[in-house]
């Protein structure tokens, strides 16, 4: 193949464009101040279109294309009402809580505790005393691990999880197991790529050693939904507690902690239209009351003496120091917003959109979607993780962003054990929220097809002569590290079945510095994509190599 023809396979625009672009139940004596009211209820069959104007971030252009945001499992966007709540707090009543007697402090305390009550109502907790504000769901899980786990787990006790858990669920219990001698048991997946419930029951009933079951409600990779109420029943029958990671369920469906019967449940604000920096732990009051503090400091105490201290009742016991006040108030505003729409409406709309996404992806050849297939009897969450044969997921995500303004996730999604179980190192993931539309899905699918076509067009086009030419060219522009480069290319040659495009998969660089690029290559950053390197190679082909090749200056030998 002529080099000129090969160059035409690369779009000249293939470079990243930077766009210019109520009163506190813990402290007595505060005045009762007015609190925020909930918005009017939205009713629309086309929920994505009716709510979209509430999210100003979605109305922008990214890399010359209209933004299509499909990374909601990582974080959600924020409605204007939440942004306004944050601004109002900082502009009109910014103060510390549970401390001052002045008007600002009283107002801030009232709004902060009102936000706690809103969250309690949202998950149908018995009362606000069962809601602990944390930095995020990760901290909430660690709180349970250290405050409950270290005191209640002994050598030989079993903690049951699934292979599909988020790192934030696995790692804290690994640490606790190392400290206590307790044992982690992992439930595998069925052929439908769902956690094996029969295996879970067998573990619970066979040895009667389980003290804690830690599970997701909705998998952030598989999109599968676990029957939490049923699992809680099995666990309680053998005397085990249950902790549920509800980060991917609380934003998308009704979650009722009383109905589920869970002992602990965690979620993050930023995935449910609220600010970053705040999450919450739900814990049954009798369990929280038996737990020691997680952190020591101000406001989690009753009295401090030089010899010892006495601790406040929950939730104050677990909220040492100044909390994320504005962020908690913003979370309260997010709860108002979601409640105004109605979680049943959100769930119904997202289920329909999720099925459309799944079916649309299934229309693409050589694609593998992870997790169960949705059906009339099997609900699947509004996300799809997938891989395309011979196309790296990071390349897919980068190209979708740079060429089409479509934002998806690539990587292991903080679930490396699950990806290893599935036999892959990473995947691409598109995840929806109620402000997404059918048009968003259509744009994504069309862009994905173009992206796959672009990358698969390279397979097999690089002859040995072309590969040697590219090698020679890169050596010319990386003289500072010539010896290391030669060693690197010798190593590459050992992989006889590797296409030249696969060699390009080994590198990624944040700029156009060729020496830096080569150092990245040598460091074997195997899980990164080809996209930025392609941009560099294209530039060199067009500006340097073809003129040199045509003039006979460059050699095609390695």
Under 8 Å between Cβ of 55 and 435: yes
Measured from the Cβ of residue 352, the count of other Cβ atoms closer than 10 Å reads 14
Range with lowest mean pLDDT among 104-113, 226-235, 439-448, 516-525: 516-525
Q: What is the pLDDT of residue 459?
A: 55
The model's pTM = 0.80
CA distance 2 to 466: 9
CA distance linking residue 299 with residue 537, whole number of Å: 58
> d(Cα 309, Cα 236) in Å, to the nearest integer?
34
Domains (ranges, CATH) in the chain? 89-338 (3.40.640.10), 343-456 (3.90.1150.10), 461-551 (no CATH)
- Name 86's bridge partners: none
Percent of the chain with pLDDT over 70: 74
| E strand residue ranges, 107-204 | 131-134, 158-162, 183-187
Q: Are 335 and 30 in contact (CB under 8 A)?
A: no
User: What CA–CA distance (Å, rounded) separates 213 from 524?
Assistant: 38
Per-residue pLDDT of 194-241, as tens digits, reads: 999 999 999 998 878 999 999 999 999 999 999 999 999 999 999 999
Residue corresponding to tokens 């019967």: 261
Angle ∠(369,373,379) on CA atoms, nearest 5: 125
Q: What is the pLDDT of residues 359-418, one digit of tens each?
A: 999 999 999 999 999 987 788 999 999 999 988 898 899 889 989 999 999 999 999 999
Cis bond before residue 129 (omega within 30° of 0): no
Please check the confidence at residue 454 and state whether its pLDDT lies above 50. Answer: yes
The per-type count for the chain, helices as H runs and strands as E runs, is 22, 17
Catalytic residues: 414
Is the Cα torsion angle 236, 240, 243, 249 positive or negative in sign?
A: negative
- If you ran DSSP here, which 8-state letter would residue 147 be given? I
């Amino acid at each position: 193949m002529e080099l000129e023809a090969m160059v035409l396979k690369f779009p000249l625009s293939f470079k990243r464009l930077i766009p210019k672009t109520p009163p506190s139940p813990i402290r007595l004596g505060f005045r009762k101040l007015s609190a925020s009211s909930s918005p009017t209820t939205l009713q629309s069959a086309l929920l994505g279109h009716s709510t979209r104007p509430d999210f100003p971030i979605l109305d922008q252009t990214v890399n010359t294309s209209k933004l299509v945001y499909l990374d909601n499992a990582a974080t959600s966007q924020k409605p204007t009402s939440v942004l306004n709540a944050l601004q109002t707090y900082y502009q009109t009543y910014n103060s510390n809580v549970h401390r001052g007697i002045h008007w600002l402090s009283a107002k801030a305390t009232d709004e902060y505790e009102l936000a706690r009550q809103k969250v309690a109502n949202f998950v149908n907790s018995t009362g606000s005393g069962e809601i602990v504000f944390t930095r995020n769901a990760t901290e909430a899980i660690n709180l349970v691990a250290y405050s409950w786990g270290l005191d209640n787990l002994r050598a030989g006790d079993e903690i049951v999880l699934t292979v599909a858990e988020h790192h934030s669920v696995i790692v804290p219990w690994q640490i606790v197991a190392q400290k206590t001698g307790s044992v982690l048991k992992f439930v595998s997946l069925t052929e439908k790529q769902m956690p094996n419930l029969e295996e879970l029951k067998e573990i619970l009933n066979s040895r009667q050693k389980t003290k804690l079951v830690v599970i997701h409600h909705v998998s952030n990779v598989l999109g599968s939904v676990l029957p939490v109420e049923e699992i809680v029943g099995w666990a309680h029958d053998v005397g085990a507690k249950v902790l549920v990671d509800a980060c991917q369920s609380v934003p998308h469906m009704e979650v009722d902690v009383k109905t589920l019967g869970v002992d602990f449940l965690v979620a993050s604000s930023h995935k449910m239209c609220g600010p970053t920096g705040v999450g919450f732990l739900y814990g049954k009051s009798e369990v929280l009351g038996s737990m020691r503090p997680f952190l020591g400091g101000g406001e989690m105490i009753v009295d401090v003496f030089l010899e010892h201290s006495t601790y406040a009742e929950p939730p104050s016991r677990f909220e040492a120091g100044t909390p994320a006040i504005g962020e908690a108030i913003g979370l309260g505003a997010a709860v108002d917003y979601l409640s105004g729409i109605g979680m049943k409406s959100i769930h119904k709309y997202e289920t329909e959109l999720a099925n459309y996404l799944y079916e649309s992806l299934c229309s693409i050849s050589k694609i593998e979607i992870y997790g169960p297939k949705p059906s009339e009897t099997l609900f699947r969450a509004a996300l799809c993780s997938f891989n395309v044969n011979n196309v790296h997921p990071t390349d897919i995500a980068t190209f979708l962003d740079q060429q089409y303004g479509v934002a998806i996730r690539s990587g292991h999604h903080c679930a490396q054990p699950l990806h290893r179980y599935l036999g892959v190192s990473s995947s691409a993931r598109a995840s929806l929220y109620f402000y997404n539309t059918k048009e968003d899905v259509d744009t994504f699918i069309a862009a994905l097809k173009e992206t796959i076509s672009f990358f698969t067009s390279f397979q097999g086009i690089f002859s040995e002569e072309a590969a040697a030419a590219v090698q020679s060219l890169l050596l010319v522009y990386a003289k500072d590290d010539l010896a290391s480069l030669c060693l690197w290319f010798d190593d590459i040659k050992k992989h006889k079945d590797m296409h030249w495009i696969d060699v390009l998969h080994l590198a990624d660089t944040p700029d156009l510095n060729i020496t830096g690029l080569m150092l990245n290559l040598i460091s074997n950053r195997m899980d990164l994509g080809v996209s930025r390197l392609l941009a560099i190679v294209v530039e060199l082909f067009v500006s340097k190599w073809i003129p040199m090749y045509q003039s006979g200056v460059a050699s095609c030998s390695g």
